């Protein structure tokens, strides 16, 4: 091919892909009612853009150009596959919309991304599929990247996405923002998906860091987008604050050797102060709305950690209080474990240890449980429990640095 696109055009298209893809795919899904068709039509449109814009330059409104071409590609695709009379209505609707768009100045593309997010995170979809579909459709990550991030094969991830998209179509999962009675619960499902994406990135081991840290960026991007689309919701602000306050420690989290550095031992000078400031401001705004929730509470706990000038100055009694409130709305075993640890730090290790013992059946396979149990038992002089728990924690640890760190603590346990 003689008309190879100039390199800067590729960059500009990549930027449009990043910034406008979500809005375009949302508009095409609204127009076609079909995730598969909308995605195929949009990639056709981007392919055509590469050819046309290379020859005749960028149009004034690349987004409107892409939407129009995408709509026509959808019509073409429907015509080719249309053996059923049922699709005639869809084709007509798309053509009408195409006609209306022929006006002098293309109108601003209506932003349907909020509908898109709620549909991708619908509780009738399997949780892992919600995460994958949101990353693919709203975030624009490739199937390959999502597969790598979740340590899945590309084929398996492709099939998962395909099944989810066809369930949306065949089971009649609606393309809409839920009404107030359902809003809160459904928003909770959306926020959980975003936080899962973040944690998947944050919990990455050193070797997996590059691809996975894009998941943190992606989760923060999604929360920002959600906040733009639904401002004034304190739980969205709370989630964004929580992620910013956590991600601010990104630069201090790994030592020069690539090993994980614990919160206590991190160089606080390496924390990202702009991100901390933004997180704290968001949290203030959320709390002022007087509608507390689980993400605001977790963000408030994160805030107390980053606000302390040194590990010795962390306000543990306040953190323990916040964990009490969190456990009241979210009584999961992991929250109860963290609450116990906070109470131990705040000066009540006996009560904390007996609470921790009750969690054994739920958390026996959870490595941090054994590490926490070991630390508190050691502090209380219960050498046998401490040693056994350190050994369990070391055995379950997936990081050599952590194993060494725990072994050093095991060696310091005083004999009974």
Judged by the rule CB under 8 A, the positions of this chain that interact with other proteins are 84, 122, 124, 170-174, 178, 182
Within 13 A of 323's CA, how many CA atoms are on the CB side? 24
Identity of the residue, 86 or 274, whose beta carbon is nearer to other proteins in the bound complex: 86
Nearer to other proteins, 92 or 176 (CB): 176
Q: What span, in angstroms and rounded, lies between the C-alpha atoms of 266 and 286?
A: 28
Q: How far is the CB of 115 from other proteins (least distance, A)?
A: 12
CB 369 within 8 A of CB 337: yes
For residues 178 and 292, which CB has a smaller minimum distance to other proteins in the complex? 178
**Shortest reach from residue 123's CB to other proteins, in Å:** 8
CB of 169 to other proteins, least distance (A): 10
Instruction: Give 122 or 336: the residue with its C-beta nearer to other proteins.
Output: 122
Buried b (16+ CB within 10 A) or exposed e, 237-263: bbbbbbbbbbbbbbebbeeeeeeebee
CB 173, min distance to other proteins, A: 5
Separation CA 235–CA 334 (nearest Å): 20
The least CB distance from residue 27 to other proteins, in Å, is: 20
Tokens for 178, please give them: 């839920």
- Nearest approach, Cβ of residue 336 and other proteins (Å): 28
The residues, ordered by sequence, that sit 6+ positions from 140 with a Cβ below 8 Å of its Cβ are 17, 18, 21, 22, 25
Q: Which residues contact 52 (CB under 8 A, 6 or more apart)?
A: none
Nearer to other proteins, 133 or 378 (CB): 133
Closest to 203 (Cα-Cα) out of 250, 143, 142: 250
| Long-range pairs of 380-385 with CB within 8 A, sequence gap ≥ 24 | 380/349, 380/350, 380/353, 381/414, 381/416, 382/353, 383/413, 383/414, 383/415, 383/416, 384/416
Cβ-based neighbours of 376, under 8 Å, separated by 6 or more? 340, 341, 344, 349, 352, 353, 356
> Is the CB of 166 or the CB of 354 nearer to other proteins?
166
User: CB of 129: closest distance to other proteins in angstroms?
Assistant: 15
User: In which residue are the tokens 């053996």 written?
Assistant: 83
CB of 122 vs other proteins, minimal distance in Å = 8
Q: Among residues 120 and 243, whose Cβ is nearest to other proteins?
A: 120
As measured in angstroms, the least distance from the Cβ of 113 to other proteins is: 19
Q: Which residues pair with 260 in a beta bridge?
A: 254
In terms of CB distance, is 26 or 219 closer to other proteins? Answer: 26
Report which DSSP code applies to 207.
Answer: G
Give me 93's structure tokens.
């609707």
Give least dist CB 407 to other proteins, A: 48
Residue 83 or 398 with smaller CB distance to other proteins: 83
Q: Which two tokens stand for residue 11?
A: 């960059």
Token pair, residue 54, equals: 């290379």
List the one residue out of 376, 387, 385 whose CA is nearest residue 410: 387
> Please, which residues have CB within 8 angstroms of residue 141's CB and are 6 or more apart in sequence?
135, 149, 214, 218
What does each C-alpha distance from 8 to 11, 45, 64, 341 come to in angstroms?
5, 19, 20, 54
User: Rounded to the nearest whole angstrom, what is the least distance from the CB of residue 227 to other proteins in the complex?
Assistant: 24
């Amino acid at each position: 091919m003689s008309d190879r696109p100039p390199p800067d055009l590729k960059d500009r298209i990549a930027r449009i892909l990043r910034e406008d893809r979500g809005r375009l795919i949302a508009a095409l899904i609204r127009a076609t009612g079909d995730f598969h068709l909308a995605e195929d039509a949009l990639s056709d449109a981007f392919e055509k853009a590469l050819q046309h814009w290379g020859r005749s330059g960028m149009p004034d409104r690349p987004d409107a150009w892409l939407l129009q071409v995408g709509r026509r590609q959808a019509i073409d695709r429907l015509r080719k596959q249309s053996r059923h009379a049922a699709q005639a209505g869809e084709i007509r609707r798309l053509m009408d919309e195409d006609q209306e768009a022929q006006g002098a100045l293309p109108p601003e593309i209506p932003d349907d991304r909020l509908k898109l997010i709620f549909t991708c995170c619908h509780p009738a979809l399997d949780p892992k599929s919600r995460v994958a579909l949101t990353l693919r459709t709203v975030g624009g990550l490739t199937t390959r990247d999502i597969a790598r991030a979740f340590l899945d094969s590309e084929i398996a991830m492709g099939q998962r996405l395909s099944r989810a998209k066809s369930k949306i179509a065949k089971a009649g999962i609606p393309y809409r923002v839920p009404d107030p009675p359902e809003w809160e619960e459904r928003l909770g499902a959306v926020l959980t998906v975003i936080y899962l994406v973040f944690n998947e990135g944050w919990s990455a081991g050193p070797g997996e860091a590059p691809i996975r840290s894009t998941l943190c960026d992606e989760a923060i991007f999604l929360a920002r987008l959600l906040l733009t689309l639904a401002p004034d919701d304190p739980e969205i602000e709370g989630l964004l604050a929580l992620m910013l306050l956590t991600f601010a420690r990104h630069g201090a989290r790994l030592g020069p050797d690539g090993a994980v550095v614990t919160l206590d031992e991190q160089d606080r000078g390496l924390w990202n102060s702009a991100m901390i400031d933004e997180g704290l401001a968001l949290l203030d705004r959320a709390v002022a709305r007087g509608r507390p929730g689980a993400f605001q509470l977790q963000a408030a706990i994160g805030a107390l950690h980053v606000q302390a000038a040194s590990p010795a100055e962390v306000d543990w009694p306040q953190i323990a209080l916040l964990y009490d409130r969190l456990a009241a709305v979210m009584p999961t075993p992991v929250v109860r474990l963290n609450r116990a640890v906070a109470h131990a730090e705040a000066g009540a290790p006996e009560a904390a240890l007996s609470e921790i013992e009750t969690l054994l059946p739920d958390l026996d396979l959870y490595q941090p449980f054994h590490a926490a149990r070991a630390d508190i038992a050691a502090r209380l002089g219960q050498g046998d429990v401490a040693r056994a728990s350190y050994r369990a924690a070391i055995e379950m640890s997936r990081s050599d640095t952590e194993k060494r760190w725990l072994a050093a603590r095991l060696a310091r346990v005083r004999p009974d």
